[in-house]
């Protein structure tokens, strides 16, 4: 069993609190690492603050070179890193390789955006009081950032916090999920070999009590959290004066018009519905199909769902594997069973064995059912009819969430209506809401949180404008 030290203030250390990391597929212990306590977190905070000025004045070319070096080292070792990621998370290896590729891209984007930090020249003489004066605005790093990353994309969602911090010259302390800390600790080994000042990055698994200090400690100037709404909104009440970015998931909807390519819609919806067992914030959860094509679409989805390859995540042929743990698989099972008891109909799937829950399609649901109203975060999709586009839009908007939505249509009028009226942070045309590339602005409204990720957009919130007014 491999031993992973945690990365505190630029030093790899062990602690008295051992954390065993379990393989969700076979429930074996694959590695052990450690939890940081309050004293170790305090050391990481002090080390981070000690290098703030060095980071602030680091030339752009050095930030660029560091970020490029990290990207290169990830690329050089991508197969091994993907295997670790796959085993710790239960994510099929095909998707683990994709996540490593995205992490490489995120660091690459950050290296380029480090060259494009905002700055402005202002005309001050818009009023008589400003006559003879001019202004310059530069943007400076805000200081220590805390990031809390979830289990479902254990590397790339951590990188979406780390890479923008490095690009803007801010130190960061990253707390990975306790179930999936190994990918980020492998990243720590790569970062440690760069010329980044020691203390600029710490990666610390912690228990919830210690981790909550990332929320409450006033020395931390910004918190970026990806996780559940219940936890995220509570953090907001405890965070004091610090800035926050909250990405809190959703129950993403898709519209399939009678003016759409049905085969394309089925193909895309299959990926969006069942990739990584639906454990994706923008997992396709609610599909609304125009009634004249409902039967065609649904029959094709049922057929495709039954053909999915399930099994060991390390098998390259596997499309769907286990969930992160048995507790979550049981929760999904209970939600589906409750829906069926209240009149829903299972079209495919619907069975659980240990940590595995079958890819499942259901219909005849009601908006108030958990499988519709809450974030299922599992391989369960509802399929329902709509009569006209407006009723479909209204159905998607009938939600406490608003992260992303998809629409399949070849009508520009329908697309414009959907883009104008859908209450979400992003609308994806002829694709599923699961679509994301790492430079686009990503985030939601309503109970899905606020703020945006996507490297440039994350960087903006890590900078503070500073004005110089001078004689012209």
Annotated catalytic residues are: 247, 281
Q: Which two tokens stand for residue 292?
A: 């004249």
| Spatial distance between the Cα atoms of 367 and 384, rounded to a whole number of angstroms | 11
Q: What distances in angstroms separate CA 37 from CA 4, 178, 182, 273, one per listed residue?
A: 16, 14, 18, 38
8-state DSSP, 331 = H
Helix axes 93-113, 156-168, angle to 10 degrees: 10
Q: Which helix (H) or strand (E) holds 33?
A: strand 29-34
Residue 329: which residues within 8 A CB-CB, separation 6 or more?
Answer: 322, 323, 352, 354, 355, 356, 357, 378
Cβ–Cβ < 8 Å for 287, 269: yes
Measuring CA to CA, which residue among 309, 351, 302 is closest to residue 329?
351
- CA neighbor of 190 nearest in space, from 91, 111, 314, 104: 104
Give the pairing of strands 243-247 and 449-450: antiparallel
- Give the residue ranges of DSSP H helices in 194-325: 208-211, 213-216, 229-238, 262-274, 294-306
Closest CA to 37 of 213, 223, 225: 213
Question: Please, which residues bridge with residue 360 across strands?
Answer: 380
Beta bridge mates, 450: 246
Q: How far apart are CA 327 and CA 342, in angstroms?
A: 23
Query: What is the crossing angle of helices 60-76 and 182-192, to 10°?
Result: 130
Helical (H) or strand (E) element with 2: strand 2-3
What are the Cα distances from residue 387, in Å, to 230, 270, 289, 391, 393?
34, 23, 9, 7, 11
Q: How far apart are CA 358 and CA 321, in angstroms?
A: 9
Instruction: Report the Cα 236 to chain-centroid distance in Å.
Output: 18
* β-pair type (6-8, 11-13): antiparallel
Query: Would you state the structure tokens that stand for residue 360, as one six-digit string?
Result: 């499942």
132, with CB counted inside 10 A (0-12, 13-18, 19+), is exposed
**Token digits for 35?**
């939890």
The closest alpha carbon to 402, from 366, 426, 429, belongs to 426
């Amino acid at each position: 069993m491999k031993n992973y030290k945690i990365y505190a203030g630029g030093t790899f250390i062990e602690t008295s609190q051992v954390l065993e990391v379990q393989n969700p597929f076979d429930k074996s212990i694959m590695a052990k690492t450690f939890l940081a306590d309050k004293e170790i977190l305090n050391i990481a905070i002090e080390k981070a603050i000690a290098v703030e000025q060095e980071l602030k004045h680091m030339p752009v070319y050095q930030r660029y070179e560091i970020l490029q070096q990290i990207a290169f080292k990830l690329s050089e070792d991508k197969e091994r890193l993907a295997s670790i990621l796959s085993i710790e998370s239960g994510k099929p290896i095909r998707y683990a390789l994709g996540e490593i590729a995205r992490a490489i891209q995120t660091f690459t984007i950050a290296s380029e955006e480090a060259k494009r930090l905002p700055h402005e020249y202002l005309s001050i003489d818009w009023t008589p009081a400003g006559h003879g004066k001019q202004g310059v605005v530069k943007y400076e790093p805000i200081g220590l950032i805390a990031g809390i990353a979830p289990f479902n994309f254990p590397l790339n969602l951590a990188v979406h916090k780390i890479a923008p911090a490095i690009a803007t010259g801010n130190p960061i302390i990253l707390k990975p999920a306790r179930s999936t800390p190994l990918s980020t600790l492998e990243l720590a080994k790569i970062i440690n070999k760069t010329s980044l000042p020691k203390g600029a990055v710490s990666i610390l698994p912690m228990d919830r009590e210690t981790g909550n200090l990332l929320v409450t400690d006033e020395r931390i100037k910004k918190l970026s959290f990806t996780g559940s709404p219940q936890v995220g909104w509570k953090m907001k009440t405890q965070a004091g004066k610090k800035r926050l970015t909250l990405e809190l998931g959703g129950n993403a909807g898709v519209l399939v018009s009678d003016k759409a390519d049905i085969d394309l819609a089925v193909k895309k919806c299959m990926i969006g519905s069942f990739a990584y067992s639906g454990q994706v914030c923008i997992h396709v959860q609610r599909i609304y199909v125009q009634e004249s094509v409902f039967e065609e679409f649904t029959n094709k989805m049922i057929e495709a769902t039954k053909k999915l390859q399930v099994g060991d995540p390390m098998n390259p042929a596997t499309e769907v594997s286990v969930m992160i743990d048995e507790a979550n698989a049981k929760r999904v099972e209970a939600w589906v069973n409750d829906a069926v008891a209240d009149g829903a109909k299972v079209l495919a799937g619907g069975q659980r064995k240990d940590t595995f829950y079958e890819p499942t399609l259901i219909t005849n649901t009601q908006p108030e059912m958990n499988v519709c109203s809450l974030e299922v975060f599992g391989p369960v999709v509802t399929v329902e009819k709509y009569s006209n586009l407006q009723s479909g839009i209204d159905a998607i908007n009938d939600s406490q969430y608003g992260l992303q939505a998809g629409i399949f249509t070849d009508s520009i009028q329908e697309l414009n209506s959907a883009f104008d009226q859908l209450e979400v942070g992003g609308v994806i045309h002829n694709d599923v809401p699961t679509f994301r590339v790492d430079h686009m602005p990503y985030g939601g409204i309503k109970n899905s949180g606020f703020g945006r990720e996507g490297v440039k957009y994350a960087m903006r919130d890590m900078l503070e404008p500073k004005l110089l007014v001078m004689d012209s």
